[in-house]
Every structure is written in C-alpha cells, then in structure tokens.
Structure 1
Amino acid sequence: MRTPITRKLLLALIIIALLGAALWYWKKPAHKVAAAAPIPVRVVQVSRQDVPKYLTGIGTVQSLQSVTVRPQIDGILAKLAVKEGQWVKQGDLLASIDDRAIRASLDQARAQLGQSQAQLQVAGVNLKRYKDLSVDNGVSRQTLDQQQALVDQLKATIEGDQASIAAAQVQLSYTQIRSPVTGRVGIRSVDEGNFLRVTDTQGLFTVTQIDPIAVEFALPQQSLPTLQALVHGSEPAQVKAFVDGDSDNGTLLGTGHLSLIDNQVSATTGTIRAKAQFDNKGQTLWPGQLVNVSLQSELLRNALVVPPQVVQRGVDNHFVYRVKANSVESVAVKVVYQDSSLTVIDGVAAGDTLVSDGQSRLKPGSTVEVVKQPPPAVADTTVEPQP
C-alpha cells in the first residue's frame, strides 16, 4: 500500500516532466516552412482588332441556267456542230435536223401565195370594171356584190397563205438548234443519223452555265432576322465557299455575295434556304459540288481578342486568369463571339496579361513563373547539289 508521501512524489515528478517537455517545445529552434514553387505558365496579351462574325453551313453548287437541248420537230439528226465539253455562247449553232421536207412545204406555200395574189389582181380589175358599168346600170347589183365577195375571199386566202409561210419558216428554224445560254456542253446521248422525236425526254445533251454560278445552302431559322438584314443591306454580304474543311483549314474556292433567301422556312428541318452568287472565271466551283459556306453576318470593330484556350469554363460563367506581378487572379468574362481561331470577350482591358497555358494547376493567388513560347521551327532551306 502506497503512502501519501510516495503519491505526492510521483505527482511532483509528473508535473516536472510536463513542465520540462513544455519548456523544450518552446525553446527548440523553429523549422522553416518551405515556400511553394511557382507554377510555370504561358501568357498572351489581350489585343484589339476588327473581327468578322460568320454563319456557317453546307451548300450545293448550282448553275444559274442549265438547259437540256431537245428537238422541237421530228426529223433525222443531220449534224452535230459541237463536241462534248465544248464552251459555247448564246446563239451558237449546236445541231442541225434534216430540213428538206420543211423547205418543200415552204416553197409550196410561197407558190400558193403567188397564185392567190394573181387571182386577186384579176378579181380587182373586174371589180373596178363592174363598178364603172353599174353607174349606167350596165351590170346588175348582184353581179357587183358577187365580184366584191370574190375579192374579199381572195384577200383572206392570201392572208392564210402568208400564215402558212410563217408557220413553215418557224418549222424551218427548229431544224437549226442554237444554244439558249452561254455555257459548257455536257455528255452527248444521241449520235448523228438518229431519228429525233419531240416526245423524246432524254434530249441531245445539256448546256450549263458555269460563270457566274450559285451556291444554295441552309441555315437555322434563328438566322432569319440576320439574313433579312443582310439581303436588304446597303452592301452585299460576303459569302465564302470552301472544300475539304472550313475557313481555318479548308481550300477557298471562291468569294461571292448573298443574293436571296427563300420565301418560307422548312417545317421539317427548321431551316431556311439561301443562295449566293459567285464569279467563277477560274471554274473552281462546279455544279453539284458540296461545299462549306461561311457567310459574314457582322463586323465587330475594336473587339477584345484572345486565343480560345485562354477562356475557362466555370460553374456559372466563363473566367480567365490575369497575371498581376508574380501571381494570378480570376476574372469573370463574357464570351461575345468564338470560333476555332479566336475568342472575343468582354470584362478585361486591352494589354492585360492572361494565362494561355497551365491553368489546370492554378487558383486565385497562385504564384506563377512566365515561360516564354518555344521558338518556331525553322524550315531546312539547304539546297541539294544537282548531279
């Protein structure tokens, strides 16, 4: 059994040990906390520039005029005056149909006209004589009226003969098939010597206008107010056509202007069709070709521009990291316009330094170290000696 003296001694030793431990803790040298290493980032400067806004879609190249050449009379195809793929002008002779039967009919109609004119001349002389005799009652009134009727009949016959001649001339003109438009001849489907009929639906070939040319495309119905403003604008809206990509990585085929929009919105697709016209002297656009279309809808002047990777998506809004001295701060911004090459924002000032790479490790107040962009690769211009 422990005595009270032993308990007091044990308690005193515990107190002394606690005091010693506390004294050692407060007297020990303090360890320095290692400072966090700065986060390497790349930065860009906010710049101002004019930025065009575009509406994009997929379009089909269409000829302004494409005509299927068909015969207007039955007959044998006597001659083809053009070759496949040949360029022709409006009014050029394309083909000829055997016209011998029509020329014979025309000659017959002209001969009939001459006969009727001779008969009219004789009837007119007799009518004048009968009128002179009727003054002294030398001829009856009935005879005079009959002669007058004969003259009127022959005049009507002459008019009919003249109409027959005109009809034969029209038929004769159909034997010379001429181009109704300026364009390019397509693949021929009929050879010389074949008998052509008016009821043939296939036709001889097509003549398609290539320059100028049109592109038809569709845009969402939400774009209708913009399209209406562009069509009625003081200056034609610029339209660009690309192949194998868009305005960033595609091949530019041509630049034209918006010419019209359709008179109704498609109820099935919710889109509205529009058409643009292009000068096509280089023949880079071809009827039936599928192209990507960019329509300039607006020009943002003095816009604040940054690369797309600068802007970050937050829970409720967009933000950027702005560099201040050696640290960064988060700044909420509004995205005004964005495409694959740039972003127009609002909420910063021109000349601000923003982080363009390394945002994943950042938070407001983080210390950063700006890393310079790597130098661009220099192409090897060494010229190999010629053997």
Structure 2
Amino acid sequence: MRRSRPRWLVYVLVIAGLLAVALVARWLATGGAAKNAKAGRPPAAVAVASVEVGDMPETVNEIGTVTPIDTATVHSQLSGYVMGILFKEGQMVTQGQPIVQVDQRPYDLALAQAQGTLAKDSSTLVSAKLDLKRYQTLSLQDSVARQTLDTQRATVGQLEGTIAADRAAVGTARLNIQYSTIKAPFTGRIGLKQVSVGSYVTPSDTSGVAVVTRIDPIDVVFSLPQADLASVQRKAGTAQGLPVTILDQDNKTVLAHGKFSTFDNQIDTTTGTVKAKARVANPATAGATGEKAPLLFPNQFVNVTMLVDTLHQVTIVPVSALRHGAQGDFVFVVQPDKTVKIRVVRMGPSDGVHTAILSGLSKGETVVSEGADGLDDGSAVRLPEGKGKGGSHRKQGGADAQ
C-alpha cells in the first residue's frame, strides 16, 4: 500500500512554487529591463521645447447664433390690389423707402368725399353762426324768445362737433393714401417678396409683403457656463469692455469683431449655462459678383471667442508637452544627463498652441514636446541634433500678440 506524503510537506512545496513564480516575475520586470538597458537599448528620440515666459490670453470659446436686433414682417395697413413691387429681393433698404404700392385710387376718392363733407358742414356752420348773432341782437331788444336763442347756440355747437369729425375723416383719408405706399420700417436687408403685382392684400395677411431685418450692427447669442459668470461680469463692467471675435464654422476665418453686450436674466437649470449676447459690426461688403452683402446672416451658426483676461509673464509650454495621468497633469522635464523626470504641473488657459503653466515649471527648463509615448520617470532620451537642451520660440502673433 502506497504511503501518502505528510500534509506539511505539501504546503512547503506550494509556498516554494509561489515564491519561485514571484522571483521570476520580479526579474522580468526589473532585472530583465536593466539587463536590456545594459545590453545597449537605444534612448528614445524626442523633440523638446524650452519653457518660456510671456502673456497668455484667457478666452471663452463657444458656439453662437447670429440674431438680428430687429426683425419685422411688413404688413399692409389697408386692403387693396398690389400695383407695384418697388424693391429687389435681398437688397438693402433704408428707413421710409417705398417697397410696395397698393392701389391708391379708392382712397383718393375717399379723401375727396371727406373734403366735400367738410366743406358742406363748414358752410352750414357759418350760416348757423350768423343766425346766432342775429338772435343775440334781437334778444337784447326782447324781440326773440329765450328758448330760440338757446336752441341756436346748441345748433352751432353741434355743427362745430360735426366739423371736428369731418376734419378727422379728412385726416384718415390722407393717412390711408400714405398707407397705400408700404415703406420699410427701418434700415436693413429685405428678404423674398411674399406678394406679386395683382395680389389682393389685407392687414390680416399672416405672411405680410416682405420681411426686413436690421443687420448692421447685429447680435450674436451664445451660452456661457455659470462658473464663468462672475469673471465675465467683473471684466464687462470696465470701460474697455470684453472684445469678441466671430469666426466661421471652421473656426478659421474671422467674420466680425465686436464687444460683449449683456447676459440673460436667468440661468438655464437643465444645462447650467446662461445666455450671453455680443453686438458686432456687420457692414455689407462687395462679393465675387460685385453685389454688396453682409458676412453674417440671421440664424447663422458661428464660433465666438471672447477675451476675458490676459495673464502676464507666466511660464508657457507647447500644448503637445502636456500629459495627463493618475497623478494629474504633468510634463517630462529633460535632465542634464539626458534622462527625463516627471513633473506634476498646474495648467492655466491655452490659446490652442501654447498652454500657461501656473506652477511646477521655471523659465529655461526643457520639456519633451513630441515623442513622449512610452517614456517613464528616468527614461533616457536622444535630443535632436544641434539642440543640447532644445528650444521652441513662440511666433509673433500668438498669445504674446494678444
């Protein structure tokens, strides 16, 4: 019969096996790596940049919607047939410029009728006043009844009221003649026509005859996080205000410049943002066809860049030098022995090319700007030829130029 091994011996063998596995893993992680380094593993090739000191603009970048200051659907104020369209679709119109002519003839006749009624009633009033004067003379001679005199006074008063109504009717008729020529309510750009010659228009038409929008200046509405509300309000109250730049959807072409105008009066609780408005100049410029047109159109989506503040004389590194990990934001700082050391930093605002570093770096230090993938604390690196410590100069017109 086979004898079983003692239980304690089994435990010893298991523990010994586990220790052997751990030792092998440790050798692979440390001894093996050191062995590979000693075997001549080449340092990683990297690009480097010098830590500089300069000014960094603090901006707010949001998506906005172009909104005209005034938009009016122009309606006819009387009924009649359209006799003429006096505008070209899409053209710029000035305040008071005729845009549609409604048939004026019925209103000319109404004015003539009102003037005739006024003339007739005016003549009757003159006669009544003469009779009143005679009755007053006879009353002094006790030759006419008191009641007759009072009745004549009342007749004159009634006729004077009739004359006032007649004059109002004449004024209304003249006003209707003015209304027969529909005019632009303000200076702006007119849209597509909603009526044609021969159409019958009334004041109740929902579409009106055309839509006019004020385009210069024009507003841009965008949303700001409520966390930025205090800083924007503080800077907006200064005499300089907050400059705003409007760019196209590709965020490349500048369309207009303006200034921050105001906030909405409440925060949207669903998004935690507040609506803001900037007012910008939007003059009509000549296009490829030679016709003048504004660059910004109502309801157009644009990118809004608002300069809130400028940090002066702060350390600056390229955006590509920043890394992110469990320890937070960090960079690889190149040491004199051409190894790198992890340095945790506190990031500030960025202009898209460079980032301000609020703490963790000093001017003149060298950081890895490219090729940092695979590097670790203490890794050896190979610097570009001719750059013992490397350098990166910010181009004029970047953040310093702001």
TM-score, with structure 1 as normaliser: 0.81
| Match of residue 331, structure 1, among 327, 343, 350 | 343
Q: Which residue of 1 aligns with 2:354?
A: 342
Q: Which residue of 2 aligns with 1:357?
A: 370
Q: Which residue of 2 aligns with 1:191?
A: 196
Question: Structure 1: which 5+ runs fail to align?
Answer: 1-32, 375-387
| Match of residue 289, structure 1, among 285, 296, 300 | 300
Aligned residues: 339
Correspondences of 1:162-311 after superposition (within 5 Å): 162-246=167-251, 250-281=252-283, 282=285, 283-311=294-322
Distance apart, 1:84 and its partner CA: 1.2
Cα separation, 2, equivalents of 1:113 and 1:260: 54
**Percent of aligned pairs with the same amino acid:** 36
| Match of residue 98, structure 1, among 88, 100, 103 | 103
Cα separation, 2, equivalents of 1:354 and 1:366: 13
- For 1:115, the aligned partner's letter is K
Cα separation, 1, equivalents of 2:135 and 2:386: 116
Distance apart, 1:373 and its partner CA: 8.3
Whether the 8 Å CA contact 2:56–2:350 is kept in 1: the answer is no
Cα separation, 2, equivalents of 1:37 and 1:157: 110
Distance apart, 1:178 and its partner CA: 0.6
Cα separation, 2, equivalents of 1:56 and 1:371: 35
Q: Which residue of 2 aligns with 1:117?
A: 122
Structure 1 pair 133–373 and aligned structure 2 pair: CA distance change class (3 A) = farther
Cα separation, 2, equivalents of 1:88 and 1:221: 40
Whether the 8 Å CA contact 2:50–2:317 is kept in 1: the answer is yes
Q: Deviations over 1:125-174 (max 9, x none)?
A: 22222212222212221111111111111111111111111222222221
Distance apart, 1:244 and its partner CA: 3.5
| 3-state SS of paired residue (1:359) | coil
Q: Deviations over 1:219-252 (max 9, x none)?
A: 2233322333344332221222222333xxx222
Cα separation, 2, equivalents of 1:298 and 1:372: 39
| 3-state SS of paired residue (1:163) | helix
Q: Which residue of 2 aligns with 1:320?
A: 331
**Which stretch of structure 1 is more off in the superposition, 219-228 or 177-186?**
219-228
Whether the 8 Å CA contact 2:53–2:314 is kept in 1: the answer is yes
Distance apart, 1:92 and its partner CA: 0.5
Q: Deviations over 1:103-123 (max 9, x none)?
A: 111111111111222222122
Structure 1 pair 167–373 and aligned structure 2 pair: CA distance change class (3 A) = farther
Distance apart, 1:35 and its partner CA: 7.4
Q: Deviations over 1:235-294 (max 9, x none)?
A: 221222222333xxx222222211121111223333221111111123211112111222
Whether the 8 Å CA contact 2:56–2:351 is kept in 1: the answer is no
Larger radius of gyration: 1
| Match of residue 157, structure 1, among 149, 154, 162 | 162
Q: Deviations over 1:294-323 (max 9, x none)?
A: 222221111211001222324323332333
Q: Which residue of 2 aligns with 1:25?
A: none
Whether the 8 Å CA contact 1:326–1:369 is kept in 2: the answer is no
| 3-state SS of paired residue (2:345) | strand
Cα separation, 2, equivalents of 1:140 and 1:90: 62
**Pair 1:66-2:71 in alignment:** yes
Cα separation, 1, equivalents of 2:354 and 2:120: 86
Q: Deviations over 1:162-193 (max 9, x none)?
A: 11112222222210101011122211121101
Whether the 8 Å CA contact 1:42–1:373 is kept in 2: the answer is no
Q: Which residue of 1 aligns with 2:383?
A: 370
Correspondences of 1:27-38 after superposition (within 5 Å): 38=43
Superposition RMSD in Å: 2.2
